[in-house]
Structure 1
Amino acid sequence: MPTPRLEKITPANLDAACELRIRPDQEHLVEPVARSLAEAYVWPGVAWPRLVYDGDDLVGFLMGFFRIPWSEDTPTDLRSGLWRLNIAADRQGRGYGRFAVRAVAEEARRRGERSIFTTWEPGQDGPEGFYLRLGFRPTGERSGGQTVGELPLVV
């Protein structure tokens, strides 16, 4: 099992963060880190971007979200969860994604949340199996064409 850690995005690691690349066959499934950082900029206090390191090696990027209005129709439905997950192409399958999801879950639990949400592109080449193995269950909702999954947190 890797010994990863989270780091905030800083001027010193910004370029490396933006250069992080997933596998080419996954590029249609998740936005690049630069797009995520732009979204974090316009959602201050909601977005929680972090880099995943193993030793000195940058291996991934995650962005959590906390207490965001889930839809315009229900502005009081505030949810938290995993907004984005990018694990470097050559580092996938080593537990870094699992670590990232657990890190968001721990932060959500620390903030008093009882569950976290995420979305994924449906289809055979998508990450559904990964999220289901971690305990996410589809809610029956769709968000931007993506499947919405919820993971209850043990309190």
Structure 2
Amino acid sequence: MTTCLEEITSRNLDAALGIRVRPEQEFAVAPVVKSLAEAYVHSDSAWPRLIVDDGRPVGFLMAFLDIDWREDGTLFRSGLWRLNIAAEEQGRGYGRFAVNAVAAEIRRRGSKELYVSWEPGEHGPQNFYLGLGFRPTGEIEEDEIVAVLDLDRHLDQGRPPA
């Protein structure tokens, strides 16, 4: 199995737009089309990628890189903005691969923390993120729980799913 990230291009745009999470998860993550629109508007900080396994699109992620978190120049953060794993591909390690790939990119850029936020709910991603070692910061951003992963302690360096 060869899992990798691809930049979004005219060649794979339709594949990215075709990624759909399970219906009960739709409350927790925006569709890919909204993410790509936000990536266009925030091109200086958005990092959208298609997750591909053996040429087959299995998910989409978008990281935010060095955003001005407080909008006053006093706090910059990087993290995972969106993670959409195709409904039929969930449970195969692609989400873990995506988080590790974002962690590797953030490390490469010199940051030591990876942030994420999630919408609380029965079918939301909270247990997934907590299981990877994220810890809530106590912050709430737009009704979402904010959590952080210490990249100095996070040892899984972006290995592909087993």
User: TM class, shorter-chain normalised?
Assistant: over 0.9
Q: What TM-score results when the alignment is normalised by the length of structure 1? A: 0.95
Please state whether the residue corresponding to 1:28 is helix, strand or coil. Answer: helix
What is the deviation of 1:119? 0.3
- Which of 131, 141, 148 aligns to 1:143? It is 141
- Number of the residue aligned with 1:130: 128
Query: What amino acid maps onto 1:69 in structure 2?
Result: D
Cα RMSD (Å):
1.2
What percent identity do the matched residue pairs reach?
59
- Which of 76, 79, 89 aligns to 2:77? It is 79
Equivalent-residue separation in structure 2 for 1:3 and 1:24 (angstroms): 28
Gaps of 5+ in 1: none
Query: What amino acid maps onto 2:119 in structure 1?
Result: E
What is the deviation of 1:123? 2.4
Residues 134-155 of structure 1: CA deviation (Å, up to 9, x unaligned): 0100000001100000000128
Residues 18-58 of structure 1: CA deviation (Å, up to 9, x unaligned): 11111011111100001000110111120000000000110
- Number of the residue aligned with 1:57: 56
What is the deviation of 1:84? 0.3
Q: After TM superposition, which residue ranges in structure 1, 4 or more long, deviate above 4 angstroms?
A: none
Gaps of 5+ in 2: 154-162
- Number of the residue aligned with 2:9: 10
What is the deviation of 1:4? 1.1
Please state whether the residue corresponding to 2:78 is helix, strand or coil. Answer: strand
Q: What TM-score results when the alignment is normalised by the length of structure 2? A: 0.91
Equivalent-residue separation in structure 1 for 2:20 and 2:122 (angstroms): 21
